[in-house]
Structure 1
Amino acid sequence: MRLGGSGFMALARPFALLVALALAVLVACGDPTAPPATADEVAYLQVVAHHDDDLLFMNPDVRDGVRSGHRLMTVFLTAGEAEEPDANGYSAARQAGARAAYARMAGVPDEWDGSAMALAGGRTAERYSLKSRPRVALVFLNLPEDADPRAAGGRGALSRLWRDRGGWVSVDTLVPTGGQVAEPSRYTGNGLVKVLAKLMEGFRPTVLRTQDPDPDPDYPFWLPLHDHPDHVMSARFAEAAARSYRRSPDRPALSVVGYRDYNIEDAPANLGPEQQNDKIGHFGEYQKHDKLAHGPAYDRWSRRMYYRWDRGTAWVGQAPDGRLHAFAVRGKDVIGWRQAGDRWESAAVDRPDGPLAAGLAVGRGVGGLTVCGRRLDNDGMTCRDDRGWVGLGSPDPGDARVGVPAVAAHRDGRLALFVRDARGGVSRVEQDGDGRWGSWDRLGGADVRDGLSAVPGPDGAPEVYAATATSVLRWAGGWDSSFPAVAPAGAPVAVADAGGTTVVVPVADTGEVLRATRTGGAWSAPVRGPGPGGPGRPAAVSADGAVVVVGRAGDGGVTTDASGAWAGIGGTPLDYPAAAVDPAGRLVVLLVGPDGRLHTSVRAERGGAFGPWQATP
């Protein structure tokens, strides 16, 4: 990450870039025919532009990967030299900072084995493995950073390589002072894709973490891309390489997770104090080596972590026969699982009409169990029920600001679908009595963030809850200002049962969760208490007469709160767990793991213990 060649953010500096068509963000990529990984095959690969991007935008996820004991490798595309006079020395210092931060995350001495690494096309890179944890490795390609005017062709080296895929443009790498390589390597755009694809073939990752290839256009800086060009291009190159890698034979399933970058500074702090301090401490090790990595923005980034399109917690639902079904996006496909007694099995789902974002919403409508998603190629909604996929269009066609869907049913079984629209409000589309979807209605609202929660209201009509930067909004035939005021750290989750409606809200900056319950038309006094300890939104479900909250723990596992106290139940979620009640009345917690499998843990009775995690074959 680099704020600008002089170390200050060029807030409105225009870039003379021809913006390539944005690649779809494949948050759970992979060929559905590729087998899930075994536990021994799990491997994490990060591809980032600069030496601190992983620390600022992907932590605490990277930290959890480092501490997991599985193989982990981070590839840094640029030398990060910017406009520094001693480009080679400054790049070497940033490398030292990255190594120091990873050693601290691993809790071992900052001692590494370095070597020159042979790459495709006769190129070389610098590779370092942590002596006390040799499964942790860092690879530095050392391509010119965007702000360096000394690169062949001037500034914007990665952007030029991306635009020119015919091999007419090439740039040479830098040679950091005292490093592992003595001569530069020459890259074209296609050459960089081949290098990354070959790295993937050799490393065989099951998780690929990237930056944001298509940033939210609401962020007003770093135009025209709305983020640092190197961030965007590193993500696009990584995803292009992943598409090539997925054609490799005998590879395990690959999950791709994209992370928001600069624009998270405008979002509420969604890490609790303990995780903030941990992340700041890891970045502090890096800062000792980078004289330019200081200022208020670095502090804001260190208190947040946001996925570009997160999975959410509404990806499981109950079919008309009572069985639970779960869904996940994998490349251009949606994969499914269904409950079969005490086990789960794969369930075939036909391919949707376009690539989808990770955030799926599942409900039961006129056409049976229905899964809905947001298309990445045209920003529209699509849903599948027993009759197949059908496109619903969009309230704002072609606008990247349209969010992922939330669904809830009317009392008569008709579904309503809600999204955050491009105006920062909420829009809705509903089924008629025959299950046909109608036209979009704008419900209004302002400053709504992506990640809505919809449930049936007391009158049988769906209502929706949404987070803004400073409050939680409720719509039920109109906007209701009576919900208790709280600054949310992320999306609220609403649970409706016979006793009323409970809304669970992660509280900004504190790590707490707030609960409020509506019975008889009035909200209870909000109750704030400790949160799960990890990042992101919780899941919630009504089970055995109580609302149970499920979230990520501070150690990266899963934790539940069924009686006012959190209890860890283990597991290794790739992002956010979900929860549901099965036909036998048992509470089921579900997650998608870094092995690409669905994992479930079951609590048979209230107050009982959760059983061991079971992985779907």
Structure 2
Amino acid sequence: MSDIDEPSRGHGPIEGGVGDPGAPRPGVSRRALVFGGLAVGGLAALGGGALIYRNIRRSAGPEGTWVNLNPIVPVPNAVPRASSPAAEAPGDDTTVAVWAHADDDIIFANPHLAELIGSGATLRTVFVTAGDAGRGLAYAQQREAGIRAAYDAMRGSAAPWDTTRITLRSGARVTRFVPSDDPRLSITVLRLPDGNLSAKGFPNTGDAGLTQLINGTVPTLAPIDDGPIVDATRLSDTIAELIHAGGPDHITTNIPHESAFARGDHPDHSCVGSLVRAVAPVAGVAPEAVTYYIGYPSQHEPVNVAGAPLDGKVGVYETYAAHDPVVTCEDASACLAQPGFGQWLRRSYAKTEAELRLA
């Protein structure tokens, strides 16, 4: 990492009503901020959804590059059959949560996530990308280990997780983790390549991600674990199949691209939110049963997580971060001092379909 402390600026104000269009973006030292695969000031990329901090001078979090996204086409035209190899046992008050990266849920959807797990409800989590930042499968697996540890912290058990590889009816292959003592929870990973904060992907994974696949500028994506390639049809079919296989009463996911709240978010977040919004009705879930969580732009909203809920949320994040070498923080104070993460941990904003402020 460079030792040059040259200030750089963010990507500008959030549009669509979040943020102050007239407020200048605070400078962040070039040495200080590397996030989501984009090194501010031109440094090398280090982490999908990750920050390295050195000599922090400002506290502003990053903003993702805004690019147009085509409508999700094609959308499956029939409800997936219940005979999917990924089908899970019915549970009580089941939520299927579909996220771009392993940590989106604990950062943006907590404390609701911990409350859901603590209530005894069923939770089926899906992570679409590997969050690998072009650094390979080993780094992605560190992040996956971190998110399992975070779930252990929320459920109060350290029992081992069972691992299964599943080839879906769609032709995609996923890896599923299930706690050996708690089958009401599961984590399923598709491990598609991280699309980068710039929406341009990484050289090690073909400079391609979800944005390029949805926009048709690349025909396929190759999962970083050498699973079968995924085209746009297979991707939509896979998301629909995994949602239906979980038997959800509710869905939670990232804010979709077509929402005003997506301006400045990570492009992968926007893609996943739009995918889920498009296929949820096909998977048998009504629009009013889907909840969308604001990502990066939540930093522009008022603080709404404090006291004991904040302590719990930060503790879960710290547990995750201990496994991710890019964001490891030595204690709660250090976690809260991280630009971006510190703001997001103090906030959590859920939006219904009617509240998305669609463009």
Does the alignment reach a TM-score above 0.5? yes
- Report whether the alignment pairs 1:154 with 2:207: yes
Shift of 1:46: 0.6
The residue aligned with 1:470 is: none
The residue aligned with 2:130 is: 79
C-alpha distance in structure 2 between counterparts of 1:254 and 1:302, whole Å? 26
The residue aligned with 1:293 is: 327
Instruction: Give the letter for the 1:160 counterpart.
Output: Q
The residue aligned with 2:36 is: 2
Distance 1:260 1:12, change over 3 A: closer
C-alpha distance in structure 2 between counterparts of 1:238 and 1:94, whole Å? 23
Distance 1:69 1:284, change over 3 A: same
Shift of 1:218: 8.0
Higher relative contact order (CA 8 A, sep 6+): 2
The residue aligned with 1:66 is: 117
The size of the alignment, in residue pairs, is 279
Instruction: Give the letter for the 1:135 counterpart.
Output: R
C-alpha distance in structure 2 between counterparts of 1:14 and 1:80, whole Å? 17
C-alpha distance in structure 2 between counterparts of 1:135 and 1:12, whole Å? 35
C-alpha distance in structure 1 between counterparts of 2:283 and 2:64, whole Å? 36
- Report whether the alignment pairs 1:199 with 2:252: no
The structure 2 residue matched to 1:136, chosen from 185, 189, 193, is 185
The residue aligned with 1:262 is: 296
Q: Deviations over 1:310-357 (max 9, x none)?
A: xxxxxxxxxxxxxxxxxxxxxxxxxxxxxxxxxxxxxxxxxxxxxx61
Alignment of 1:463-502 (within 5 A): none
The residue aligned with 1:338 is: none
Instruction: Give the letter for the 1:164 counterpart.
Output: G
Shift of 1:296: 2.5
> For the Cα contact (< 8 Å) 2:99–2:127, is it kept in 1?
yes
Q: Which has the higher strand share?
A: 1
C-alpha distance in structure 1 between counterparts of 2:133 and 2:258, whole Å? 22
C-alpha distance in structure 2 between counterparts of 1:137 and 1:22, whole Å? 27
C-alpha distance in structure 1 between counterparts of 2:195 and 2:92, whole Å? 35
Distance 1:226 1:134, change over 3 A: same
The structure 2 residue matched to 1:228, chosen from 261, 266, 270, is 266
SS of alignment partner, residue 172 of structure 1: coil
> For the Cα contact (< 8 Å) 2:72–2:278, is it kept in 1?
no
> For the Cα contact (< 8 Å) 2:304–2:347, is it kept in 1?
yes
SS of alignment partner, residue 238 of structure 1: helix
- Report whether the alignment pairs 1:357 with 2:354: yes
SS of alignment partner, residue 244 of structure 1: coil
The residue aligned with 2:12 is: none
Alignment of 1:92-111 (within 5 A): 92-111=141-160
C-alpha distance in structure 2 between counterparts of 1:11 and 1:52, whole Å? 16
The structure 1 residue matched to 2:280, chosen from 217, 227, 242, is 242
C-alpha distance in structure 2 between counterparts of 1:201 and 1:212, whole Å? 20
- Report whether the alignment pairs 1:213 with 2:256: yes
Shift of 1:293: 2.3
Alignment of 1:455-466 (within 5 A): none
The residue aligned with 1:126 is: 175
Q: Which runs of 5+ in 2 are unaligned?
A: 1-34, 39-44, 52-59, 74-89, 329-337
C-alpha distance in structure 1 between counterparts of 2:153 and 2:61, whole Å? 31
Instruction: Give the letter for the 1:241 counterpart.
Output: V
The structure 2 residue matched to 1:282, chosen from 316, 320, 333, is 316
Distance 1:281 1:266, change over 3 A: same
Distance 1:47 1:67, change over 3 A: same
Distance 1:46 1:255, change over 3 A: same
C-alpha distance in structure 2 between counterparts of 1:233 and 1:91, whole Å? 19
C-alpha distance in structure 2 between counterparts of 1:41 and 1:54, whole Å? 20
Instruction: Give the letter for the 2:99 counterpart.
Output: V
The structure 2 residue matched to 1:185, chosen from 224, 228, 249, is 228
- Report whether the alignment pairs 1:117 with 2:166: yes
Q: Which has the higher helix share?
A: 2
Shift of 1:211: 0.6
> For the Cα contact (< 8 Å) 1:100–1:110, is it kept in 2?
no
C-alpha distance in structure 1 between counterparts of 2:224 and 2:61, whole Å? 24
Instruction: Give the letter for the 1:71 counterpart.
Output: T
The structure 2 residue matched to 1:89, chosen from 127, 133, 138, is 138
SS of alignment partner, residue 50 of structure 1: coil
Shift of 1:133: 1.3
C-alpha distance in structure 1 between counterparts of 2:244 and 2:63, whole Å? 40
Shift of 1:64: 1.7
Shift of 1:215: 7.1
Q: Deviations over 1:257-292 (max 9, x none)?
A: 011110111222101310000000011110001122
SS of alignment partner, residue 340 of structure 2: helix
C-alpha distance in structure 2 between counterparts of 1:122 and 1:22, whole Å? 19
SS of alignment partner, residue 282 of structure 1: helix
Shift of 1:110: 4.8
C-alpha distance in structure 2 between counterparts of 1:200 and 1:245, whole Å? 6
Instruction: Give the letter for the 1:296 counterpart.
Output: P
C-alpha distance in structure 2 between counterparts of 1:185 and 1:41, whole Å? 33
Q: CA RMSD in A?
A: 3.0
Percent identity between the two aligned chains: 26
Larger radius of gyration: 1
> For the Cα contact (< 8 Å) 1:22–1:214, is it kept in 2?
no
Q: Which moved more, 1:142-151 or 1:191-200?
A: 142-151
C-alpha distance in structure 2 between counterparts of 1:218 and 1:67, whole Å? 29
Shift of 1:243: 2.4
Distance 1:144 1:288, change over 3 A: same
C-alpha distance in structure 2 between counterparts of 1:154 and 1:185, whole Å? 18
Shift of 1:202: 1.9
SS of alignment partner, residue 175 of structure 2: strand
| TM-score of the two chains, using structure 2 as the length reference | 0.70
Instruction: Give the letter for the 2:132 counterpart.
Output: E
C-alpha distance in structure 1 between counterparts of 2:181 and 2:301, whole Å? 37
Distance 1:190 1:57, change over 3 A: same
